Amino acid sequence: MVPEIGLLLLIIATTLSIVLSSITIYGIKINSKYVLSYTKPITVLMCITLIASISSLAYSFLTNDFSVAYVANNSNTQLATLYKVAAVWGSHEGSMLFWVVAIAIWSGVIICRAPETDQHFHHKVIAVTALLILGFCLFLLFTSSPFARMLPDIPIEGKDLNPILQDIGLIIHPPLLFLGYVGLTICFAGAVAALLSGGLTQQYARYLQPWAILAWVFLTGGNAFGSWWAYNELGWGGWWFWDPVENASFIPWLVSTALLHSLIMTAKRGILGSCSIFMAILAFSLCLLGSFLVRSGVVQSVHAFASDPTRGLSILMLLVVFSGAALTLFAQRTPLKAAPLTFTLRSKESLILLGNMLLVIAAISILLGTCYPLIFEVITGYTISVGAPYFNSIFVPIAGLIFLLMGFAPLQAWQQGSKINASIVLAIVCFVMALLATYICADSFNAWLLLGLFSALWIICATGLAIVHKIAAKPCADNASTHSVRFYAMCIAHIGVAVSILGATMVSNFETEELLRMGPGQGKTMGQYSFIFEETQAVDAKSYTAIQAQIMVVDEQDNFVTYLYPQRQTFKTNAMEMSAAGIQSGFFGDLYVSMGQQLTDNPGLNNNEYLIRISYKPLVNWIWYGAMLMMFGGLIIVICTQVKRVKSRSIAPQQQEPCNEFAS
């Protein structure tokens, strides 16, 4: 009965989205406050029904209702309760429902916090989000219902959640990504509302800024935590594989980075409003395109949600309808003649604009590498693969240019810029130091190592110099303290980028690894550590059995360091085997041991040997430390923006100067 209630609530939410969009559009058209007064209660009611709908799905998981196909395919009576809850968004149908629920919740926040001034803009945002919710709800009802029954053939036991997903990563990684997608959905709705309102004013840009930053923060966390999850769970020892599904979430992150910087210029200087709108449309479109790649089955990946061409085609139709309509409106409302720019080539605006162009180029390059094999196969019938060498050779140089601009931009002033002699001298000093470090640390010249060390050192030093300049400057406005906090938060985020660069550079160039056969009583020395395989142990967990190796690690003086416990797991429900790595994490590096298959190629000899991969990964955790710094800096900016908004409510639209490109 509960699944039927959940389905009914989803149908009611679909109906409410139709009513909400119709009433809002009609109320705006006739300029009726009475009609628009219904927007808030309908939005809240739609939000409540969707929350209740996904709650009924969670109840079905918790009660092991295997008559529901989605539950039967993704759960089991042996599955831990926490993973049963996480399984709600662990596959295609539930993840899409989670996306819709999150959009509805954020829509409720928007309408409840809408200021008294310029209500029409916020109502237009709600109208667009209601239409988006309608599209996603119809997609769920007709192609991907999470409440579909398996009557009358109800299985006694479920198929279980994919063993790869039975990790803390499932609890954190997908929600972060989808919240990032929701943030970009709100930015998309705001961009369309701005087009319908005559242009992206500074006020509208300030309103969209926190949503863009929140989307960026969540996408940063989603990508970083997904990387950490792969590093810990899969047992391969890598942290980024340029997998098509990884690319599908990384590409929107690049564009969202460009979006938030573009909104900064629009909000502060009232320029490049059309660029901000286009970035918002592009970022949301790439979210839908990524969902299509993940769910259509056109790419093969361990991360893929589904492989149903019908679902993929439906998402592609949503992409065409929503993005096509937005781009058509953008083409109609954007002036053919751009307003003259009022800043010089060496100003902060020029550097941010150039950085945004490079971010979009990087995103397009990754998108091309991801989609080209698909296009090639459709045209020729042959399959090819595009791997890490392509992505590294294309992305890393572009990223190096972006990092160079990241150092210069905070040191420059708005409009006219400032003298860059000191900045150039600092860049040269950083390059020389990085060059010396490269020759000292590497056996031969390594261009990639030089680029990584220079980028990290340059961003840190340039950011430090910008902080010195900020401290030396005198406040010139009443809200200088708020601006100072935002500035220091930006510095934290930039330093986080440098920390991640340094971690990625060091682990990529100085990781040591050996693949060998080991059994009880055998040892191996690698660098300053010795690894001694003491014994194997049988492990019987709730959902799997495992053979666990106990490996003692000692240093060069035979001092005990730690024990590592890699496992070879076999899941009880489907006999799927996985390797769980044994990891000793440290601030300066990780000891990493993974356990492969048991070796039986010599029947007369020791059959208790296993394929063992031993690695030392210097500074690998700095990749994720840097991501946490980036997220922390972004959250501080959002909090400061909201505090400022509470203190001084939105300025009336008649007091705002429209963006130059949309000036009437």
Whether the per-residue pLDDT at 616 is higher than 80: the answer is yes
Looking at per-residue confidence, does 602 or 445 come out higher? 445
Alpha helices in 381-420 (DSSP H): 388-408
| Cβ neighbours of residue 157 closer than 8 Å, sequence gap 6 or more | 66, 76, 77, 573
Whether the per-residue pLDDT at 604 is higher than 70: the answer is no
Helix then strand count (H, E) for the chain reads 18, 10
The pLDDT confidence band at residue 651, using thresholds 50, 70 and 90, is very low
Whether the per-residue pLDDT at 659 is higher than 70: the answer is no
pLDDT digits (tens, 9 = 90+) for 544-602: 899 999 999 999 898 999 999 999 999 887 788 888 899 999 999 999 999 988 886 55
444 Rama class: left (phi>0) / alpha (psi -120 to 50) / beta: beta
Give the model's pLDDT for residue 443: 80
Please, are residues 273 and 208 in contact by the beta-carbon 8 Å criterion? no
Give the model's pLDDT for residue 572: 83
Whether the per-residue pLDDT at 478 is higher than 50: the answer is no
In the predicted model, what is the mean pLDDT of the chain?
88
pLDDT digits (tens, 9 = 90+) for 255-271: 999 999 999 999 988 88
What is the chain's Cα-based Rg? 27
Give the model's pLDDT for residue 664: 27
Give the model's pLDDT for residue 650: 46
Please, are residues 98 and 89 in contact by the beta-carbon 8 Å criterion? yes
Give the model's pLDDT for residue 306: 52
What pairs with residue 21 in β-bridges?
A: none
Looking at per-residue confidence, does 89 or 151 come out higher? 89
Hunting for tokens 């990524």 — which residue is that? 290
Angstrom distance (rounded) from CA 271 to CA 265: 6
Angstrom distance (rounded) from CA 123 to CA 119: 6
| Annotated domain spans of the chain | 1-161, 512-619
Give the model's pLDDT for residue 653: 43
Tell me what the mean pLDDT of segment 106-120 comes to. Answer: 81
Instruction: Reduce the DSSP state of residue 37 to 3 states and report it.
Output: coil
Which among 17, 203, 240, 235 is positioned nearest to 121, based on CA atoms? 203
The pLDDT confidence band at residue 411, using thresholds 50, 70 and 90, is confident
Tell me what the mean pLDDT of segment 383-387 comes to. Answer: 83
Give the model's pLDDT for residue 606: 53
Hunting for tokens 């990584």 — which residue is that? 452
For residue 546, the number of C-alpha atoms closer than 13 Å in the C-beta half-sphere is 19
What pairs with residue 70 in β-bridges?
A: none
Whether the per-residue pLDDT at 646 is higher than 90: the answer is no
The pLDDT confidence band at residue 309, using thresholds 50, 70 and 90, is low
For residue 27, what are its two tokens?
């109320």
Give the model's pLDDT for residue 649: 55
Give the model's pLDDT for residue 474: 62
Give the model's pLDDT for residue 349: 87
The string of DSSP letters for 604-627 reads: TS---EEEEEEEEEETTTHHHHHH
166 Rama class: left (phi>0) / alpha (psi -120 to 50) / beta: beta
What's the chain's length in residues?
664
Give the model's pLDDT for residue 295: 73
Angstrom distance (rounded) from CA 65 to CA 53: 15
Whether the per-residue pLDDT at 1 is higher than 50: the answer is yes
The pLDDT confidence band at residue 56, using thresholds 50, 70 and 90, is very high
The pLDDT confidence band at residue 298, using thresholds 50, 70 and 90, is low
Least confident of 33-47, 81-95, 297-311, 482-496: 297-311
Q: Sheet of 589-599: strands edge to edge?
A: 512-518, 609-618, 589-599, 582-585
Angstrom distance (rounded) from CA 154 to CA 142: 22
Give the model's pLDDT for residue 165: 86
Cis peptide before 373 (omega within 30 of 0): no
Angstrom distance (rounded) from CA 184 to CA 179: 9
Give the model's pLDDT for residue 454: 97
For residue 267, the number of C-alpha atoms closer than 13 Å in the C-beta half-sphere is 18
Least confident of 232-241, 489-498, 529-538: 232-241
Hunting for tokens 């394929």 — which residue is that? 611
CA 126 to chain centre: 24
Give the model's pLDDT for residue 414: 80
Tell me what the mean pLDDT of segment 405-427 comes to. Answer: 81
Angstrom distance (rounded) from CA 641 to CA 588: 36
Instruction: Reduce the DSSP state of residue 512 to 3 states and report it.
Output: strand
The pLDDT confidence band at residue 102, using thresholds 50, 70 and 90, is very high
The total of other beta-carbon atoms located within 10 Å of residue 240's CB is 17
Please, are residues 181 and 99 in contact by the beta-carbon 8 Å criterion? yes
| Cβ neighbours of residue 245 closer than 8 Å, sequence gap 6 or more | 293, 294, 299, 301, 303, 304
92, 99, 296 from 140: Cα distances, Å: 10, 11, 15
